[in-house]
Structure 1
């Protein structure tokens, strides 16, 4: 027997250990990422291991495992992610909660300077979203936040 044949025979006999190691590595990575991608890859590895146990050649095991992993990623991962995120709180928080929040201009608000008191009680440095100045006491709504400054527009209601 030549060296190449000996190597191929060795790989064929011990491929199941390679599959077990690959599955374990993917599961550890999944525990760190929590994204279900590596879980799907480990499921593909399980299919590769099962194909090894029934005597499929190594090259076919790799193809079968890759196809199974791709199918798991395409068809099993999306519903799992939806189910995982189903119970999340839809309430906006932090800067996202300020968008469209109403308030009052405490001083004239221009594109350069101004101040506004928002409905949540916070007083912010404000700038106008348009070139037209917003007079003191006018109702405003937040359109965006840039650092510690809110960009506001006049509200006509």
Structure 2
């Protein structure tokens, strides 16, 4: 059995690649996928030489390089949105809206983009149907809106 493993070490490296990739899918840390890349490189080297020391050194060097060089770049690229890019509710603040039902201190409906939102007036004044307003802020599932010319409430 040990002789077969020594002659077919690529199978061991392939199994290690798959196990490390599976662990990466569970953790999503971009660490185990780098180790998997090292195992893939060692598997490629195993086709050229049966020397286990060379294969292990290849695994260690490639995995280390991937962890030290590639992983920080990948984490930086995946983890940080571009400057000024607003997402989710933040992207609605300042957007224009149209009043569908009269908006007052406690109730109303507005259309923001293609979506209908419950709404309240930012300063408590009544806003008639058809008025153009801007989203002042979002409170839960309610848009707090104000007339664009009413800068004091914005």
TM-score (norm 1): 0.51
In the aligned structure 2, how far is the partner of 1:54 from the partner of 1:100? Answer: 65
Residues matched between the structures, number: 130
Q: Which runs of 5+ in 2 are unaligned?
A: 79-86
CA distance 1:100–1:56, change in 2 (3 Å) = same
CA distance 1:103–1:24, change in 2 (3 Å) = closer
CA deviation string 1:98-126 (max 9, x = no partner) = 5443234443422xx12133265755321
Which of 124, 127, 134 aligns to 1:133? It is 124
Matched, 1:107 2:102: yes
CA distance 1:121–1:42, change in 2 (3 Å) = closer
Q: Which runs of 5+ in 1 are unaligned?
A: 1-8, 82-91
Q: For residue 18 of structure 1, what is the aligned residue in structure 2? A: 12
Q: For residue 85 of structure 1, what is the aligned residue in structure 2? A: none
Assess if the C-alpha contact under 8 Å between 2:38 and 2:59 holds in 1.
no
Q: For residue 43 of structure 1, what is the aligned residue in structure 2? A: 37
Alpha-carbon offset, residue 146 of structure 1: 2.2
Matched, 1:69 2:62: no
Q: For residue 149 of structure 2, what is the aligned residue in structure 1? A: 156
Assess if the C-alpha contact under 8 Å between 2:7 and 2:50 holds in 1.
no
Q: CA RMSD in A?
A: 4.6
CA distance 1:108–1:101, change in 2 (3 Å) = same
In the aligned structure 1, how far is the partner of 2:143 from the partner of 2:66? Answer: 47
CA distance 1:40–1:24, change in 2 (3 Å) = same
Q: For residue 81 of structure 2, what is the aligned residue in structure 1? A: none
